[in-house]
Structure 1
Amino acid sequence: MQGETATDRTVFRITGEDRVHFLQGLVSNDMRDLDGRLVYAALLTPQGKYIADFFVTAIADALLLDVKTCLAEDLARRLSMYRLRSAVEIARTGLHVIRGLGPAPADALADPRAPALGWRAYRIAAAGPETTDWDGLRVTHGIPETGIELIPGETYILEAGFERLNGVDFHKGCYVGQEVTARMKHKTDLKKGLATVRIEGAAPVGTAIMAQGKPAGTLFTQSDGRALAYLRFDRASGPMQAGDAVLHLDPA
C-alpha cells in the first residue's frame, strides 16, 4: 500500500454519544463536522500553555485521535479526568498512522497544517518505512514538532504558529485555555514566536540564541542551511549566535 508508517504515533478511538460535545469543550479547534476531513488541534492548560497536539477525524460512530506516542499516556489520563459523567469511552487502537506525499489514496485525508505535508491515513496494516525527509519539510514550511518546538507546559500555541497551521478556531466558543489564547490574538502583538532562520554551522537543539550579547531565543530543528528557532522578535534584526552557529532571520 502507498505511504510510509509513522512509528511514533498512537491512535485513540473515542466513542459514546457525547464524544463530539466532550472534545468541543476541551480543545483548540472545532470538533463538529469532521466527516471526511482531518482537524489539527491542541489541549491546553487553563493558563493557555500547550499540553499536547493531535489530529482528529470521524469514522462511523467514533472519533479517531492521532497523537505522538510520547504524549499518549498523559493525554489519555487528562481526557479521562475531564470525562466526568459524559457518555464517552476512550481506548487505544492498533491502527497504524500512514503518511505520504503526492497523489492521495482513497482512504487518505489531507494534512490540515499545510499542503506540502501531504496526507495521512489510518490502517490496520503497516506500510513501508519512512524515507521522506519530514524534518526538512518542517523547517522549510515552519512546522513545529511535538516535543521539540512544542514543549508541554511551556509553549503558547499562537507563538508556535497554530493560527497559520489551522490549529485554532477563534469562533468556536469556550475550551480549556481559550481566554488566554483569545487575549493573545486580539489584545497584543506577538513579541516572541517560532520563525525560520538561515544558519551557518550547527548547534544542538535547545542551544540558546544570543544577539548583541543579549538572550534572543532558542535554536531547534535544522536542515539544509535553515532552522526553526523561537525568537524574541525585537532582538532578531541582525546576526545572532547559537553556540558556534551564526543565524539570520529568514526574510521569507
Structure 2
Amino acid sequence: MPMQNDIIPLSNRAILTLSGPDRRKFLQTLITNDVEKISGAQAIYAALLTAQGKYLHDFFITEVGESLFLDCERARLPDLFRRLMMYRLRADIDIKDCTDKYNILASMGRISGGVTSCVDPRHAHMGFRTIMAAPENISTCQTMVPYDRLRLSLGLPDGSRDIEVDRTLILEANMAELNGVDFDKGCYVGQEVTARMKYRANLKKRLLPVRIDGPLPDPGTDIINDAGRKIGRIRSGLDNMAMGYFRLAHMEFDQPYTCGEATVTPIRPDWYPPPEQKR
C-alpha cells in the first residue's frame, strides 16, 4: 500500500467553516451530495457546479460541534469563498477561512486527538482524512508523494489538477462512482443536467487512470491513437501513473496510446461500472 503507516500532510488543502442555524439548509440547495449524511463520524464528498452542470469546486465536508468544515483546495479557496458568499443572501450563516487554524492529514488508520478523523468517502482504500488543530502536526512524512501514488493507483481525481473548471461535467469525473452525488436529494445548482446525463446514459468522456511508459507527459498533452486521432488529454501524474481524460468511443482499456514521448495505457479501476451499467 503506497501510504503504509505514514501520516501525510495535505499541504495543498484548506479549511472553510460554516456556522449558524441555516448552515445545512444553505449547502443542501447548492451541492451535489446530501448534507444529512454528515455527522461527526462521517464525511461526505461533494461538488459545487455551474447552472450548466459544469465543475467548479469539489470538497469534503465534516461536522464539528455547531460548524460544518469544508476541506477544499488551498489555491482556489478565495474563489470558493466568494461563490458561497454570493449565494448566502439572507441565510443565517457565518462563513470563515480557518486554514491557519488547522492541518489536514491523510493516513491509513484513524488518528486520535484530531478535531475530526473520518474515512475518505471516495474509496475505502484511501484510508482516513483528519483535521488537526494547528500548530500541532504529527506528520511522519514531509511530502504528499505517497498520497498521490495511492490516489492515482485507485483512479481518483485531485480537484482542478484533474477536473477542468467550468468545462468538465462531474459524471465525467466519476463523482457518482466515488460517492460524490446523491440522485435522490432534490434540487441543487446543476442538478437537472447531472440527472439527465445519468438517466439518459449518454456519458461520452471520462477521467481514467493510466500507466505511463516513458517520460511523464505535461498536463494537457494530447493522447493520440494509432490513426493519429486525438482521443484525450493527460492530467495530473507522478512517476509511471497519471490521470487521462478520454473520449470513451475511441479508447479501450489495456490498449497503449501515444502521449508526447511516452506511451499511456488506460487501466480499468475497481469502481468502474460493468458494461450493463456504464454511463
Which TM-score band (shorter chain)? over 0.9
Question: Which residue number corresponds to residue 276 of structure 2?
Answer: none
User: Percent of pairs identical after alignment?
Assistant: 37
Alpha-carbon spacing, 1:198–1:8, altered in 2? closer, same or farther (3 Å): closer
- Displacement of 1:188 in angstroms is 2.6
Question: Which residue number corresponds to residue 7 of structure 1?
Answer: 11
**Where in structure 1 are there 5+ consecutive unaligned residues?**
none
Alpha-carbon spacing, 1:135–1:5, altered in 2? closer, same or farther (3 Å): closer
Runs of 4+ with deviation above 4 angstroms = none
- The yes-or-no answer on 1:234 pairing with 2:238 is no
- Displacement of 1:195 in angstroms is 1.3
**Using the alignment, how far apart are the partners of 1:28 and 1:56 within structure 2?**
12
The root-mean-square deviation of aligned C-alpha atoms, in Å, is: 1.7
Alpha-carbon spacing, 1:226–1:175, altered in 2? closer, same or farther (3 Å): same
Question: Which residue number corresponds to residue 207 of structure 1?
Answer: 221
Which aligned pairs between 1:124-163 and structure 2 lie closer than 5 A?
Answer: 124=133, 125-128=136-139, 129-130=142-143, 133-163=146-176
Structure 1 range deviating more: 80-89 or 220-229:
220-229
Which aligned pairs between 1:51-66 and structure 2 lie closer than 5 A?
Answer: 51-66=56-71
- Displacement of 1:132 in angstroms is 5.1
Question: Which residue number corresponds to residue 90 of structure 2?
Answer: 85
Do the aligned residues in 2 keep the contact of 1:135 with 1:221 (CA within 8 Å)?
no
- The yes-or-no answer on 1:110 pairing with 2:127 is no
**Using the alignment, how far apart are the partners of 2:77 and 2:147 within structure 1?**
21
TM-score after normalising by structure 1: 0.93
Q: Which amino acid aligns with 2:264?
A: L
Helix, strand or coil for the counterpart of 1:13? strand
Structure 1 range deviating more: 148-157 or 76-85:
148-157
Aligned residues: 251
- Displacement of 1:5 in angstroms is 2.3
**Using the alignment, how far apart are the partners of 2:110 and 2:79 within structure 1?**
35
**Where in structure 2 are there 5+ consecutive unaligned residues?**
1-5, 270-279
